[in-house]
Chain A
């Protein structure tokens, strides 16, 4: 039993990272109706920026704050420069732009920092808390705290500020939002900025567990897709829940289904995506799309 709980805790730690990248995907999907395939690469690029800061001797937490600020600005810039011109274009056009962004960011990171792996500093101490036969690493605890804080801040922003209310209005009815005087274009840019910031958190948290290299986020992105699909692409709370469930499912599958082991773990999110699409395409928390014909 203790072993089982132990696995769940490990799973939640990993799941929190998937949850933050899934949340980034959902933020952009809500505002622009597109799935941003470049979300993982944007997070990876942000992680390199953080690495660059710390490599220059900057304390980790200061580097984190600066990186998040740069990511926010970068996300807004991407929306203004790349996404704005294809706003309202065919969905496929926008998807192609995001795939192009994926390739571009990946190549740019390789060009700037090379494809050699880099050690990313772990901001959390190495020890663990032991209680009741369970061992919770400071690293896992730290990840859960950071992701929890990010979610809490986003919740406050969306539910208790005027800007947040405006953003939700744009996500539900952009035309009506324009009529009440909201600058929809800037709100979309703000959404991209937030998504880039939340995504950056996932990259920075996962980097000490993996190694930093330009393809670091490709696996995480698949887990995040599974999480967003499971929770519902139009539900931020669903993305978080989905991320945690995917993390736990992955860990349990790796530990208990002997034939899966650590090599086949990456198959778990794919099975989840397929299962959700077959049984409940709108996800656990999503609203079914209704189309009048």
Chain B
């Protein structure tokens, strides 16, 4: 493992060297249980970056560490500003929107209230109204359900709502945790297509954690493979896809 990490794991950084998010020697865990053991990675401005890895590798913890939900050691810098050990509300104010595992829906609240909560830290009423329209453009189904309790939506609609809620922040960095979880393949493909559109139209940098490596590599520019709390492989999506061990472990075929 270490040998592999030493051999191929070093992150060459995004092409052009324009690092938007820089994570340096990040350690994190829950109480005694340590999950991340010195993660290093960079994400370029405006790119979609996929984090792949098996169950329990620490993918979710990595996202939670980025948004201030767990205690960390190390450094997280976003566009030059230090985010390390800032509480989640401060991180959100810095423009980081996190769609958590399980979607984080406010079930009894209406769809509209869920969306408005996404803009909680923003000021400027007019802009927020305009953004509601913008999100209806991406997810027309949400407009039809504005007054319904969010808990009454299907799984796919709830995931759309979760992404819509995140977009209401006008995020500079969008963190997506397993958007495909529990969804039909066709719904997942549609979601990833929309994420790609958002990335292209709004230049939002996206970090997506995904077990479905095929899908993630289709939309991502670069990817990192996380195993037992360490990045063991980083590179362009094509390079990761071509890697023999990734192919065996996550894509289900030999190159």
Contacts and interface: CB of A to CB of B under 8 A. Distances in A.
Given A180-B92, A181-B92, A166 B69 contact: no
A166 B117 CA distance: 7
Contacts of A166: 117, 120
B104 A182 contact: no
Interface stretch (B4-12, B105-113, B185-193): B105-113
B120 A182 contact: yes
A183 B107 CA distance: 20
Contact of A168 (B69, B92, B109): B109
Given A173-B106, A180-B121, A183-B89, 10 more contacts: A165-B109, A165-B116, A166-B117, A168-B106, A169-B106, A169-B117, A179-B98, A180-B118, A181-B120, A287-B108
8 contacts: A165-B117, A165-B120, A168-B113, A172-B106, A172-B108, A178-B88, A181-B120, A183-B87
A172 B88 contact: no
A155 B89 CA distance: 26
Contacts of B29: none
Contacts of B97: 179
Given A180-B121, A181-B92, A181-B93, A173 B116 contact: no
A182 B88 CA distance: 8
Nearest to A172: B106
A180 B117 CA distance: 7
A172 B69 contact: no
B130 to A, nearest CB: 17
A180 B165 contact: yes
Contacts of B67: 179
B169 interface: yes
> Looking at chain B's contact residues, is the secondary structure mostly helix, strand, loop, or mixed?
loop
B120 A179 contact: no
A162 interface: yes
B38 interface: no
B106 A182 contact: no
A91 interface: no
Chain A, interface SS category: helix
B209 to A, nearest CB: 15
Contacts of B69: 175, 178-179
Chain A, interface residues (CB within 8 Å), range: 10 to 19
A114 interface: no
Contacts of A182: 89, 117, 120
Interface residues of B, number: 24
Interface string B83-106: 000011100110001101000111
Interface in A254-293: 287
Interface of B: 67, 69, 87-89, 92-93, 97-98, 100, 104-109, 113, 116-118, 120-121, 165, 169
What are the 7 tightest A-B residue pairs by CB atom distance, in nearest-first order? A181-B92, A176-B104, A181-B121, A178-B88, A181-B89, A179-B98, A172-B106
A150 B117 CA distance: 26
A186 B92 CA distance: 16
A170 B54 CA distance: 32
Contacts of B120: 162, 165-166, 169, 180-182
Nearest to B165: A180
Given A162-B120, A165-B117, A169-B117, A176 B92 contact: no
B205 to A, nearest CB: 17
Most B Cβ at <10 Å: residue of A165, A168, A173:
A173
A165 B128 CA distance: 15
Contacts of B109: 165, 168-169, 172
Contacts of A287: 108
A169 B110 CA distance: 11
